[in-house]
Amino acid sequence: MVAVVGCKDDLLDTTPQDKIDAQTFFNTATDLEVYTNGFYEMLPTTEVYTDDANSDNLVPLIVSDRAKGARILPVARGTGGWNWANLRSINFFLANYEKCPDQAAKLKFGGIARFFRAHFYYDKLKTFGDVPIYDKVLTADDPDLYKARDPRKAVVNFILADLDYAIANIPKEVKLNNITRYTALILKARLCLFEGTFRKYHGLGDADAMLTLAAAAADELITSNAYRLFNTGGANVAYRELFARINQDATETILARDFNPTFGKNTINYGMTSPTFGAYGIPKDFVNSYLLKTGARFTDLSNYATAQYYEEMQNRDPRLTQTVAGPDFAAYGETVREPVNMSITTTGYRIIKALSTRDQWASSSSYFDLILFRYAEALLVYAEAKAELGTLTQADLDKSINKLRERVAMPFLNLTAANATPDPYLLAMYPNVNSGPNRGVILEIRRERRIELFNEGLRWDDLMRWKEGKKMEKPLVGIYFPALGAYDFNNDGKADVFLHNGNATGAPAGTSSIVNVSQKKLTNNTFGNFDPLKGTAMKFDEEKDYLYPIPVEDINLNPKIIQNPNWK
């Protein structure tokens, strides 16, 4: 049973008021705009920049149940994501908006409402797979309150119909904080890539049709020339600048959430800079994934696993030190090198992507805009869909992946070379990857995707659609240290970090970060990698963890709702 029944005292009892509103509202373009403006609260907020902490991209102070594989079956109706209140609001609009005589307004705002319904159902599809489709406002006596779940392919078709309507009817406008035709296109590309690869790697069939739609939607956005990559500052600055700046613009950003110091702040930067809240650490396997500046693979070096911090940060893809605090890291907008601080990162690798000005580092002090959709994703979707289809050409790479590499002055990805020598490091990371002739380039596109879209809330979904959930069981360790003692992180002849096991008396004067390894554990006690999860059981159950469970009370109230496999 859906949550509408579970909270009918709140929702269904308001129906008479809804009918009164419908009689006096929905008569003008302004009415339609005002109503649909309320839908924007359904969009994600700060979780876009924190959800990676529930994946293998970030290790927080407190590891989530999802990351550990310790999710439990929810009991209360309407919990665990099985909630439908937002859908009712959208369907109420769609049931009444056509009374407005303004045809242009009906097309535009009807398209926007359908975008939000598509967005709602895309989230439900990723979470639960099969879900009941509702395209109307339910009443207390409606038999569809107790309907069964619709098959995921029917759900996908329903989402696509809404997105196609939105694409056809929302004007071709570039608006930073509003849903436009381009927002619908990028969501369609995201949906179709997710579903195409999910079907392919989970053996559900009909994958190519979805991948073809993904490539086409991404290509339409690319060839529209409405957006381009943000390049201000050049290769060593632009990527960091894109996320850290206070105000977004519509160069690359398709949709952003507007924050402002006077009417809206969040805790994003506090989570990156507080030793007791977040303290997110980036794992070494992610740092290892960045190529050398020459385009060669860092993991082909004989000492890649034991390279010390300063050495491993040299001559790498410039996005590395625009994502991870490098040897010369300074706060955004400042020039003085920031002291090394191991207390604010679980792995020693400190996140700086989307770390804005210092005045935003305190609790609930961040006010920079958050990116929800951006043009770079379209380039990645296009390349991956074409590669999975087996139709990728070098020209396709040059108009997609190589545009991203060009922004950071990295050598271009070569299709023939990538397929001739697939990266064994990535192959071990993604053992289920396509075994065909495009295996090598698919791995490289996955590398590019993880690096480019790091900490933008897409990593868990990627692992799920690639059927690589077991990646969550692989070690999430940090910086390597060959022994206890002092370390110079920026090669200036002065100690920045001192490791000890209970006696810090040997720490050189001025050392900014003194670490007791009995508290911040190493893999081998007195040497090795920081190991924040040492002693924590990490598991992923291939038989159930790709989908979420449905609450017990919802199933008890509606026997037609069948639980997802192996959730008990």
What is the CATH classification number for the domain harbouring 223? Answer: 1.25.40.390
Question: CA angle at residue 313 from 312 to 319, to 5 degrees?
Answer: 130
Q: Dihedral angle at the C-alpha atoms of 269, 273, 278, 284, nearest 10 degrees?
A: 110
Q: Residue 220: exposed, middle, or buried by beta-carbon count in 10 A (0-12, 13-18, 19+)?
A: middle
Sheet holding 513-516, edge to edge: 485-487, 497-500, 513-516
Q: How many CA atoms lie within 13 A of 69 on its CB side?
A: 18
Residue 551 DSSP label: P
Domain presence at residue 392? no
Distance CA 307, CA 81 (A): 43
Question: CA angle at residue 461 from 275 to 172, to 5 degrees?
Answer: 105
Domain presence at residue 564? no
The total of structural domains in the chain comes to: 1
Query: How many residues can be counted in the chain?
Result: 568
User: At 553, is the secondary structure helix, strand, or coil?
Assistant: helix
Q: How many CA atoms lie within 13 A of 99 on its CB side?
A: 12
The residues pairing with 159 across neighbouring beta strands, listed in sequence order, are none
Distance CA 131, CA 121 (A): 9
Are 330 and 462 in contact, with CB atoms under 8 Å apart?
Answer: no
Domain presence at residue 300? no
Cβ neighbours of residue 74 under 8 Å, at least 6 residues apart?
A: 80, 82, 549, 551, 552
Report which secondary-structure segment, H or E, holds 127: helix 103-128
The residues pairing with 281 across neighbouring beta strands, listed in sequence order, are 59, 350
Q: How far is CA 477 from CA 106, 290, 369, 390, in A?
A: 53, 16, 31, 35
- Amino acid (1-letter code) at residue 340: V
Distance CA 212, CA 389 (A): 8
Q: Is the dihedral of CA 315, 317, 322, 325 positive or negative?
A: negative
Q: Which two tokens stand for residue 11?
A: 């929702």
How is 91-107 classified by DSSP, letter by letter? HHHHHHGGG-S-HHHHH
Q: Rounded to the nearest 5°, which phi and psi values hold at 150? A: -85, 145
Domain presence at residue 26? yes
Angle between helices 29-37 and 103-128 (to 10 degrees): 20
Domain presence at residue 532? no
pTM score above 0.85: yes
Distance CA 497, CA 564 (A): 48
Cβ neighbours of residue 151 under 8 Å, at least 6 residues apart?
A: 130
Q: Which pLDDT tens digits describe the chain residue by residue (568 residues)?
A: 233 323 333 322 333 434 447 778 999 999 999 999 999 999 999 999 999 999 999 999 999 999 999 999 999 999 999 999 999 999 999 999 999 999 999 999 999 999 999 999 999 999 999 999 999 999 889 999 999 999 999 999 999 999 999 999 999 999 999 999 999 999 999 999 999 999 999 999 999 999 999 999 999 999 999 999 999 999 999 999 999 999 999 999 999 999 999 888 999 999 999 999 999 999 999 999 999 999 999 999 999 999 999 999 999 999 999 999 999 999 999 999 999 999 999 999 999 999 999 999 999 999 999 999 999 999 999 999 999 999 999 999 999 999 999 999 999 999 999 999 999 999 999 999 999 999 999 999 999 999 999 999 999 999 999 999 999 999 999 999 999 999 999 999 999 999 999 999 999 999 999 999 999 999 999 999 999 999 999 999 999 999 999 999 999 999 999 999 999 8
Distance CA 88, CA 352 (A): 39
User: At 370, is the secondary structure helix, strand, or coil?
Assistant: strand
CA-wise closest residue to 194 among 149, 160, 167: 160
Distance CA 284, CA 305 (A): 9
Domain presence at residue 205? yes
Domain presence at residue 277? no
Cβ neighbours of residue 499 under 8 Å, at least 6 residues apart?
A: 481, 483, 484, 485, 487, 515, 517, 522
Are 113 and 36 in contact, with CB atoms under 8 Å apart?
Answer: yes
Q: Which two tokens stand for residue 451?
A: 């690096």
Q: Residue 142: exposed, middle, or buried by beta-carbon count in 10 A (0-12, 13-18, 19+)?
A: middle
Quickly count: other Cβ atoms within 10 Å of residue 342's Cβ.
25
Distance CA 360, CA 541 (A): 39
Distance CA 55, CA 286 (A): 12
Q: How far is CA 41 from CA 36, 108, 116, 354, in A?
A: 10, 19, 10, 22
Could you tell me the residue range of the domain that residue 51 belongs to?
Answer: 3-232
Distance CA 367, CA 262 (A): 9
Domain presence at residue 321? no
